[in-house]
Structure 1
Amino acid sequence: MSTFRRRRGERGASAVEFALVVPILLTFLLGTVELGLYMKDYVSMSSSARAGARAASAAADAGPGTCEASSNPPPCTPASAPALAQAAADTMQTAGMAMNSQDIDWVMIYSANDKGYPGSNGSTAIPTTCPAKCVKYVWDANLSGGKFRYSSGSWTSSTVNACLNDASRESVGVILQARHAWMSGLVGGLMGGDKTMTERTVMQFEPLEQDRCKPGTPNAHS
């Protein structure tokens, strides 16, 4: 009888231990999966921002934005914003993103200050609205399956300085903001809801010929 009681007690203890350990194991597994998905979104955002910055940096002389008239026009960028901004947005769109496009909040393409951020020199803040020389795009799922659409901001294209060895040569920055939605309600609750993610890339404009690299040169680009 004592042996039977001892075995039954051992089985009961094992069941209690199992009940205590399983939630911990499940939480660990969920956390591992969530971390993997979070890193996937981060890598996707980083790659997309770099692709957009490369496209913009190579288009210093692309001129002002255009609005084409057709039965199925592409996203429109007004003449008050540079075509290089639309080039960046288009590249980010066509390069593809592994994350859900519905989670993208906005993209900013801007003339970087001395710290690599939008706005005046010295600023290290990421604004939600565009300061000077900045253009903002949002994702529009209604544009032919989804495209970046001009939202706000202005940047006169003729002011771009892309002169080699010029101390005032500009750099173009791209900021992408998106939300990471947690797969598990448990993790989401622990993290206080969706995680807002931002990725920033800055590149100098590729130099243009000296006779057209900035305003005031004989054949200044427009």
Structure 2
Amino acid sequence: MLKWRRRRGDDRGAAAVEFALVVPLLLTFLLGTVELGLYMKDYVSMSSSVRAGARAASASADAGPGTCEASANPPPCTPVNAPALAQAAADTMQTAGTAMKSEDIQWVMIYSANTAGFPGSGTSIPDNCTAKCVKYVWDAGLKKFRYSSGSWTSATVNACLNDDNRESVGVALRANHNWMTGLVSGLMGGNKVMTERTVMQFEPLTQDSCKPGTPNAHS
């Protein structure tokens, strides 16, 4: 009888040790699954947002110069530097919703894309705009994306059908993904900076207005 009780006690002790070993692994797996799910949510949200922005911009080749709303936050801008097609992209991304906190979004970039889909002659998305590129940041006072830097004169856009030089517009979004747990943040070296982009050709305009030099060239 005493031996049987001792065996039961040994079994319970072994089970407790096994439980103590397994639970941390299960919790780590569970947290990892949750973190992956949240990361994928942000990725899908960003991807959907830039597609919506690119569609809006590609349909606005002849929208002309944009408007520069007054803001308590610098910098000032002039309409010619901020084409309406870029503001259309930024506004569409806002109304479409990114499911991300506005404070996590670093910037939105709208640019004339090269054959590789990047600004200028580059092969990656830069931190700052070059030629034919404008960057927008979130303005908490206006509660919308507002011009930050860069320049792109809308009248230079080529949107001619069957023209080898017909332009494409790229829309890029850079944001911070904040890990939920310190464990993953530590393993990943801090929060993740995510960049997503989409490139679309400008929808063709009529032949008499589709680019500079045509009889009724768009503004």
TM-score (norm 2): 0.94
Percent of residue pairs identical: 81
In the alignment, which residue of structure 1 is the partner of 2:73? none
Spell out, residue by residue over 1:12-41, the C-alpha distance to the aligned partner (whole angstroms, 9 max, x if none): 111111000000000001111111111111
Check conservation: 2:68, 2:147, Cα contact below 8 A.
no
Number of residue equivalences: 214
1:161 aligns with 2:158: yes
| Uncovered stretches (5+) of structure 1, i.e. residues with no partner | 70-74
In the alignment, which residue of structure 2 is the partner of 1:61? 62
Indicate the larger mover: 184-193 or 43-52: 184-193
Check conservation: 2:53, 2:93, Cα contact below 8 A.
yes
Spell out, residue by residue over 1:48-80, the C-alpha distance to the aligned partner (whole angstroms, 9 max, x if none): 0000000000000011122357xxxxx976322
In the alignment, which residue of structure 2 is the partner of 1:207? 204
SS of residue matched to 2:185: helix
Alignment-mate amino acid for residue 178 of structure 2: A
| Uncovered stretches (5+) of structure 2, i.e. residues with no partner | 71-75
Runs of at least 4 residues off by over 4 Å: none
Check conservation: 1:77, 1:86, Cα contact below 8 A.
no
Check conservation: 1:81, 1:135, Cα contact below 8 A.
yes
Quick one: distance in 1 between partners of 2:6 and 2:78? 80
Q: Report the Cα offset of residue 141 of structure 1.
A: 2.1
Residue of structure 1 aligned with 2:195, choices 198, 201, 205: 198
Quick one: distance in 1 between partners of 2:85 and 2:78? 10
In the alignment, which residue of structure 2 is the partner of 1:14? 15
Map 1:109-128 → 2, pairs under 5 A:
109-120=110-121, 123-128=122-127
Quick one: distance in 2 between partners of 1:67 and 1:194? 33
1:107 aligns with 2:108: yes
Quick one: distance in 1 between partners of 2:217 and 2:148? 28
TM-score (norm 1): 0.92
